[in-house]
Amino acid sequence: MSTDDRTTPDPRFAFDFHAYDDPGDGSRFSTWLQVEPLCRGPEPRPDWVVTSQAAVDTELGILKTGKEADVFLLERAVPDDPGQSVVMAAKRYRDEQHRSFHRSAAYTEGRRTRRSRDARALAKGTAHGRAVAAGAWAGAEWEAMKRFWDAGLPVPYPVQIDGTEILMELVTDDGVPAPRLAQTRPEPDLLVCYLDQLRAAMSGLARLGVAHGDLSAYNVLAAGDRLVVIDLPQAVDVVANPAGMDFLMRDCRNVAAWFTARGLPVDEGELFADLVAAAF
Ligand SMILES: Nc1ncnc2c1ncn2[C@@H]1O[C@H](COP(=O)(O)OP(=O)(O)OP(=O)(O)O)[C@@H](O)[C@H]1O
Ligand SMILES: [Mg+2]
């Protein structure tokens, strides 16, 4: 056998090879089927959710850098199938080292970490501990979003969670990402309509026994005439958490102050009393 025979394969064994690897250009194959079923959003699923194994995820850019997470625009689409294409919001939590803001331990009081290695790492503040904390906040937001969605409350549809990344419905207005309520100056009629919606959302939460815990016009999106509440990882149990009532009161104060400043007076004490009544 000559050297040539060994290096040049018989053409009958040659075939076109495509690596089953991410497509490159910042895209990846859809992670939908990689995540456990429990890490996928609740059923019935909205029909815009792309579940095909052939889908590719492409990052379209950053939407917003927040205090503890960055939100990206992510397209999930089946190449050459315009019917299967959606742009979602991908919220990625940073580990504690890369945050500019640390949630107070008061939020997590009463919550438990099941794995003792994780609990020890959290307590010691090791690198593993910081990663666990980022995953825990993502997990807490995921659970809250699913629960609130199932209860019919106005939150983005939770598509999937993969470690520290949550994919969710992108809330839009006229095809572009919706502004925060704080950036809007609604006409009087719309302002009343917004207040009704926010009150209803807060009562819905109270009926589940929870307060948002960081509610303000910065964590509510205005999708045309519809409001959507976001940023849920710190949702607190108003009964079991010793500080639950304080968080509920603070939510009421923020909401009342914003509407009052926009010309629709809201009494924070009355709002609080209504919500406490709904919670018990
Ligand atoms: N589902 C969504 N649809 C549209 N925009 C979104 C969505 N989720 C988040 N955003 C945008 O990203 C911003 C940050 O999201 P979020 O409040 O959940 O994260 P955060 O880290 O707490 O940010 P911040 O520190 O600004 O509060 C929001 O204010 C909003 O502008
Ligand atoms: Mg926020």
Tokens of 119: 């609990």
At 218 the three-state DSSP class reads coil
Determine the atom of ligand 1 nearest the C-alpha atom of 170: 3
What is the per-residue pLDDT for 129?
Answer: 72
User: What's the 198 CA to ligand 1 centre distance in angstroms?
Assistant: 17
Query: Using CA positions, which residue lies closest to atom 23 of ligand 1?
Result: 66
Instruction: Dump pLDDT digits (tens) for 55-79.
Output: 999 999 999 998 889 999 999 999 9
What is the per-residue pLDDT for 159?
Answer: 98
What residues form DSSP beta bridges with 56?
29, 77
Measured CA angle at 247 (ends 120, 125), to 5 deg: 20
- Residues with Cβ within 8 Å of 36's Cβ and at least 6 positions away in sequence, in order, are none
Closest ligand to residue 103's CA: 1
User: What's the 64 CA to ligand 2 centre distance in angstroms?
Assistant: 10
φ, ψ of residue 172 in degrees (nearest 5): -125, 165
At 203 the three-state DSSP class reads helix
Tokens of 139: 């997990």
What is the per-residue pLDDT for 219?
Answer: 98
| pLDDT mean across residues, the chain | 89
Q: How many CA atoms lie within 13 A of 225 on its CB side?
A: 7
Report the percent of the chain where pLDDT is more than 70. 84
Determine the atom of ligand 1 nearest the C-alpha atom of 232: 18
User: What's the 214 CA to ligand 1 centre distance in angstroms?
Assistant: 12
The residue type found at 90 is A
DSSP E strand boundaries for 170-279 = 172-173, 176-177, 210-211, 220-223, 226-229, 236-237
Question: Is the dihedral angle over the CA atoms 124, 130, 132, 136 positive or is it negative?
Answer: positive
Instruction: Dump pLDDT digits (tens) for 207-243.
Output: 999 999 999 999 999 999 999 999 999 999 999 999 9
pLDDT-based confidence at residue 108 (cuts at 50, 70, 90): low
Query: Using CA positions, which residue lies closest to atom 18 of ligand 1?
Result: 231
Tokens of 271: 């709002």
What is the per-residue pLDDT for 10?
Answer: 76
What is the per-residue pLDDT for 100?
Answer: 52
pLDDT-based confidence at residue 110 (cuts at 50, 70, 90): low
What is the per-residue pLDDT for 16?
Answer: 59
Measured CA angle at 13 (ends 7, 17), to 5 deg: 95
Ligand 1 binding residues, C-beta < 6 A: 63-64, 66-69, 71, 89, 91, 156, 168-171, 177-178, 180, 218-219, 221, 230-231
What is the per-residue pLDDT for 1?
Answer: 46
Which range (86-95, 110-119, 151-160, 247-256) has the least confidence? 110-119
- Which active-site residues does the annotation give? 214, 231
Query: Using CA positions, which residue lies closest to atom 17 of ligand 1?
Result: 231
What is the per-residue pLDDT for 58?
Answer: 97
Instruction: Dump pLDDT digits (tens) for 17-57.
Output: 555 566 767 789 999 999 999 999 999 999 999 999 999 99
Instruction: Dump pLDDT digits (tens) for 182-215.
Output: 999 999 999 999 999 999 999 999 999 999 999 9
Query: Using CA positions, which residue lies closest to atom 26 of ligand 1?
Result: 66
User: What's the 206 CA to ligand 2 centre distance in angstroms?
Assistant: 20
What is the per-residue pLDDT for 128?
Answer: 72
Whether residue 116 is predicted with pLDDT greater than 80 in this model: the reply is no
Closest ligand to residue 70's CA: 1
What is the per-residue pLDDT for 156?
Answer: 98
